[in-house]
Amino acid sequence: MAVRIRMKKLGRLHRPFYRICAMDSRTPRDGRVLQELGTYDPMVPDTDARVVLDAAGVDEWMKKGALPTPKVAVLIKKYGLNGTHLEQQKKAQAKLAEARKPRPNMRRAVYVAPSVIPAPVVNVEVAAEEAEPAEE
């Protein structure tokens, strides 16, 4: 069985997402996989944060004779076990994780219209006595 390390397309129209998988070369692109080795999301703005690879798994399949497709070979060269962009990838993924962190809820001040605020209750008898001085 000839094993290839290639991308399996997921996602929807105009929003692609790929899983990097070890597959039999005769299976369809989105067919059965032997092992999932990582993900590739081309929609992430930071280039170095797009790829997540199981470097040990990729290395294991390469030792068994699996051949990567050209695009996956580039990703393995950059982000594999001895990749050239590993430090940039760690920084980019930390930045992405920070951006995806949930923020505390900001409570907005509730505006109450003046007509809704009840008027203060005034005792009519006390108010009348204070308003008119007694003439005796």
Dump pLDDT digits (tens) for 57-116: 999 999 999 999 999 999 999 998 888 998 999 999 999 888 888 777 656 666 656 666
Which pLDDT score is estimated for 81? 86
DSSP single-letter state for residue 50 = S
Which pLDDT score is estimated for 99? 85
Nearest Cα to 19, choosing from 58, 48, 65, 67? 58
Question: What is the pTM assigned to this prediction?
Answer: 0.70
Residues in the chain: 136
Locate the domains of the chain by residue range: 3-99
Assess if CATH 3.90.180.10 describes domain 3-99.
Answer: no
